[in-house]
Amino acid sequence: MKAMILAAGKGTRVQPITHEIPKPMIPVINQPVMELIVSHLKNHGFSDFIVNVSHLAQHIEDYFKDGSRLGVNMAYSWEGHFDGDEWVGQAMGSAGGMRLIQNRTGFFDSTFAVLCGDAVIDVDFSEALTFHREKGSIATIIMKQVPRDEVSSYGVVVTDDDGRIESFQEKPAPEEAKSDVVNTGIYIFEPEIFNFIPSEGEYDIGSELFPALVEAGAPFYGITLPFQWIDIGKTPDLWDATEMALNNEIHGFTIPGEEVSPGVYTGANVLIEEGADIKGPVYIGGSTVIRKDAVVHGPALIHSGCVIESDAEIRNSIIWHHTRISGGATLDMKIVFGPHCIDFAGNVVHLGEGGFDWLISDVRSKSPLK
């Protein structure tokens, strides 16, 4: 089986994190979300992957390379252009990216899957493929039922009793929604789908290709399956995924490192001084130091190379690599990412501009407390 992972977007709703790393590389604890996707697909018989890349593409290519570390074959499709000597990313849209690959190499020569590279999933592809083939579908959307009061966050799909797709609603108000079944961004296609995609230019799957299929009366279906779907579409979603991982609630995910006390996991070369108050679930990355009288109450994630000074307090938070939290700092429901502090509503404070860099700083720079 072949699959395409969509990884060319800029991830604007996850900024400022995606200023430095592309959204598919955002880690759940210390494993990029796209790696979880590839591993799951491999377990369902997928062996050949093509990834469309644009924004910060080198991060994805440098990490996954040819896929052999994960036991798969992986290649990439660059989307962009040169401006003088500088490469400028320019995403082609999800369907436009598919067409670009097909025009170049004809990669999609049999039934294939397409999905976004920014969601943790455990969908049963075998059941979805069986449905797709039984219906003789040219395109199948894997859908999920959500609570009625959450439909305004998603694209709603309306089908007939046979599963044939009739229409869509983009983020409707709950009282206006015609369905509580939503598009998860996971698709199965036949190569004939390219008869409906322009030969060049930008083109989107959801907003352009799918309405064209409905209008043409093409065999276009949706299947609703119960499965875990953690979409990291915006910054607060990163916390939701991290909390679930720390609580062992993500199917197939194992907390890395060593469990040094109930619910407290550490990487290598971690120093926790006597008198530190740590309560799980907590993960502490390698080469991190937790000083005496520091408080770390989970769920909390502290990445590698950090220093949590005495009298610092961390609760319900994510601390990025190489961060020093000085004594007197209290962090609750925050994500510290480099020079930024992000709350769970997505609001961002630049630590230097806000005058907080004496409390939170890069551990590799000279500490004002030394």
The string of DSSP letters for 310-342 reads TT-EEES-EE-TTEEE-TT-EEESEEEETTEEE
Q: How is the chain split into domains, by residue range?
A: 2-231, 255-362
Neighbours of 354 (CB within 10 A): 12
Q: How far apart are CA 26 and CA 258, in angstroms?
A: 22
At 17 the pLDDT is 83
For domain 255-362, say whether CATH 2.40.50 is its number.
no
DSSP state of 152: G
Is 255-362 the same fold as 2-231? no
Percentage of the chain beyond pLDDT 70 is: 97
| Phi, then psi, of 145 in degrees rounded to 5 | -85, 135
Say whether pLDDT at 351 is over 80: no
- DSSP state letters, 170-222: ES--TTT-S-SEEEEEEEEE-GGGGGGS-SSS---IIIIIHHHHHHHT--EEE
Identify the burial level of 310 via C-beta atoms within 10 angstroms of its C-beta, where 0-12 means exposed, 13-18 middle and 19 or more buried.
middle
Give me the mean pLDDT over the 285-302 stretch: 96
Alpha-carbon span 62 to 53, nearest angstrom: 12
Query: What sign has the CA pseudo-torsion 265, 270, 275, 276?
Result: negative
Lowest mean pLDDT across 217-226, 259-268, 355-364: 355-364
**Residue 281 identity:** P
CA-to-CA separations, 225 to 145, 168, 183, in angstroms, rounded: 8, 18, 11
CB atoms within 10 A of CB 189: 22
- Model confidence pTM above 0.75: yes
Please state which CATH class domain 2-231 belongs to.
alpha beta
Q: Which pLDDT tens digit goes with each residue over 182-202?
A: 999 999 999 999 999 999 888
Instruction: Considering only residues 241 and 357, tell me which one the structure prediction assigns the higher pLDDT.
Output: 241
